[in-house]
Amino acid sequence: MKLFPLFAATLLLGAPACAQSPAGAPPAVAEPRGVVSAAHPLAAEAGREMLRQGGSAADAELAMMLALTVVEPQSSGIGGGGFFVYQPAKGKLVTIDGRETAPKAATPARFLDASGKPRARFQAIPGGLSVGVPGNIALMAMAHKRFGKLPWKALFQPAIKLAEEGYPVSAPMARGMGYVSQAWQDFPAISALYAPGGKPLAAGQMVKNPALALTLRRIAAIGPDAFYKGENAQAIVSAVNGAKRNPADMTLADIAGYQAKERTPICGSYRGYKICGMGPPSSGAVTVLQILGMLERFDLKALGPANPRSWHLIAEAMQLAYADRELYLGDPDFVTMPLKGMVDKAYLAQRSALIDPAKARGTYEAGTPPGAAPRSPGVSSEVSGTTHFVAIDRAGNVATMTSTVEGPFGSQLLASGYVLNNELTDFTFAPEVNGAPVANRVEGGKRPLSSMSPTIVYDAKGAPVFTVGAAGGKTIIMQVAKALIAHLDWGMSARESIGLGLVYFGGNGIILERGTVLEPMKPALEALGHRVSVAELGLKANAAERTASGWVGAADPRSIGVALGE
């Protein structure tokens, strides 16, 4: 298998990212009416089109999800899943879980080798074994029924047009093909579409996807049953179970039985603001709130973003929070979790007391929040795929969604023109450690833990004022936490907040994003006891903020994304 040693190294660092805004990148947009932001300009156009037709933020958000299926197949689409967070202008926050599920036949030994040891991750990704039942169309149906204003069919039209008439390959899409296309000799369907003649398409070349256009037309005409039953369901089963690499065990019943689920939001406070996001199987809101909760006793505003001590404190809180994440979080339908205890102020104060402002702790073990049951830590891995997009309509409804197929081009399998995910490799491969179960182990019908973190911030009066989410595997949590700190503590705009450099961790130390204001802080952070490396992290976030003149959308300056006003 020649692909995956290179693939592994690439994904650990993510896609190359520039620290500065690309030439000609449009500025953030302030609009008294609606606004959208997405990681691809053509997807943002699809969202704006829905707003201009009088659609809701939900309509715009779902149209962007469909358009991204066409133009950003390396990152997301209807062959994957997502989390949808919606704040109606009047009413309660709603969060919808469209995370993929493991086939019923899946067992905790799914990713173990013949000797009972966890397989190498990048041996498990390509082919059928890594594919979960896709959830985005079921999520879409639930969200549209609750919050849509336009007809179901209308939401599909921009994506259908793009698939039929074609679109230029973007630089990120071309880069993604460069990472994985050397394995496509075992995946003829994706090779025929994106590497005709054996050579991957280059940035700027036009690509059409008539098979996907036909699939979208059927779903638009019939509804979600056109995806979860009949011809399309059979195409998924055939692709997964007939894969040349890692053929698997998905059934038509697995697909027909999929359900999106409304989950209880996870909310907490920080600096007088209320912050809400997605609960498990997302680890996003819990871990973000833990990081912020541990930092609240420190005066980050006074320290400022140029002070290495700010980033020292952030790095310490990050590593303590991620330790809890790995130990306790998983699918709530399978795992009992101490969620209230994990975000309890008293517990977070205990965790914060472990942070020494003058010295790195060095070791970061999980705590014991109220209500915790014995668990073994099981490190899960997510790669730098995924996409995020936001929409606010003229009525003030706020939609924020993260969608993914996991790694670049997911499992490398196509069904009916779209990429099938490799989300099941987000499970922890080892089902137990030292005789205790791992919360995120594989089980039939279970949803793997995710770092996707669609987030909404509310002011003291309860009005939404900021929304953010990101792509980039397990860095997503830190991208969101960092953006919240930058916006709420340091007064940065939405665009500045998501564009600010990032600290992450790995290799028994912390990682500073190359080419950003953090890179020169390496010596100072080393003096505080950190082991420090510098790397490109492949980040990509989208956000929006409410200002006196209306909502302002923002796209990450590292990306080709844009924010557009209605």
Q: Is 154 exposed, middle or buried (0-12, 13-18, 19+ CB in 10 A)?
A: middle
Question: Closest by alpha carbon to 513, among 72, 40, 170, 20?
Answer: 20
CA pair distance 562, 566, nearest whole angstrom: 13
Q: What angle do CA 213, 215, 218 make, to 5 degrees?
A: 110
Please report the sign of the dihedral spanned by the C-alpha atoms of residue 222, residue 58, residue 143, residue 397.
Answer: negative
Tokens (6 digits) for 504: 């992450």
- The catalytic position among 386, 400, 404, 516 is 386
Catalytic (active site) residue 386: yes
Question: Closest by alpha carbon to 246, among 341, 136, 162, 131?
Answer: 131
Three-state DSSP state, 162: helix
Q: Are 396 and 72 in contact (CB under 8 A)?
A: no
According to DSSP, the residues that pair with 321 across neighbouring strands are none
Q: List the strands of the sheet with 35-38, edge to edge.
A: 261-263, 94-98, 81-87, 398-404, 387-392, 35-38, 562-565
Q: Which helix (H) or strand (E) holds 553?
A: strand 550-555
Question: Closest by alpha carbon to 262, among 366, 358, 147, 152?
Answer: 147
Alpha carbon of 3 to those of 132, 177, 197, 358, 377: distances in Å? 22, 12, 19, 44, 29
Three-state DSSP state, 441: strand
Spell out the residues 6+ positions from residue 4 whose beta carbon is closer than 8 angstroms to its own: 120, 122, 123, 125, 126, 183
According to DSSP, the residues that pair with 512 across neighbouring strands are 503, 534
The DSSP 8-state label assigned to residue 422 in this structure reads -
CA pair distance 217, 202, nearest whole angstrom: 28
Reported residue count of the chain is 566
The catalytic residues are 386
